[in-house]
Chain A
Amino acid sequence: MASTIRVRAIAGADTTEVQALVQHPMDSGFVKNAKGEIIPAHHIETVQFETGGKTVFTALWGPAVSKDPFVKFSFKGGKKGDDLKITWVDNKGATDTTTAKIM
């Protein structure tokens, strides 16, 4: 099974730019299915980005974040070859984690 997380982390002169795309339905809990039943809320709550034993970014997401969410940020430091670990947890307790190399 392929990872639900896509990451692109690119080291620049003194910062590293991180872009991540997560495969997740992000059901808002306000949408009905074809039968007219509410699709219960199902969304990622937290995404954590760590490198060198330190958290560099945490996203707290509600149901208004789009399906297959995208996020982009930058942090100081980080160099080519460093590990960047990403972990998400959703409101049903599901989780996935991946470790990407900074490019």
Chain B
Amino acid sequence: MADLQKENLLLEVLKNHFNDKIFDLKVQRHQRVHLRTTTEQIEAVLLYLKEKLGYKHLSHISCVDWIEENRFELVYILWHPEDKINVLVKVDVDRLNPVAPNIDYIWPQANTYEREMREMFGIQFPGLVGRKELILEDWDDLPPMRRDFDTLQYVMENFEFRSGREDAQNVRETIAKRTGEEIPEFAKKYSR
């Protein structure tokens, strides 16, 4: 598609300004730029993008739970209304002690995103105001969007399904039973 001049220029500018404080800079495609920074630097990066470079619109703040790598990844997605570029600024937050800076003084709507993350992932944002309960009510389990929260198990413990369906059979097992086939234990994980 179009050439990536503007995107590359942005990377250039950012690199010059922040040097090694930002890393993993990458032009994913036309209109998409990724970069990564640290929790200490995130406010400076966002402010710089907003005030100096004109990334005035905060589209989204997302959070991904990389439980295997023991981190939460916060993704701030900014939009430049004139240059028409989405910048995805990523920050890793320690999963055991999840604290990230509150940025709702930069964008007011960040308040909601952060409250949701506080509720759904248990990430703390010092200085964040607003009701503790945004979406859930009287929730006393793990923050539900964490990977280690098993929703099906929760459902089994708290709700009941309608009875009458217990006679369902697994086709594979039914056939195996009928033919006397013994599926070895180590193979069972490949059964469906």
A and B are partners in one complex rather than unrelated chains:
no
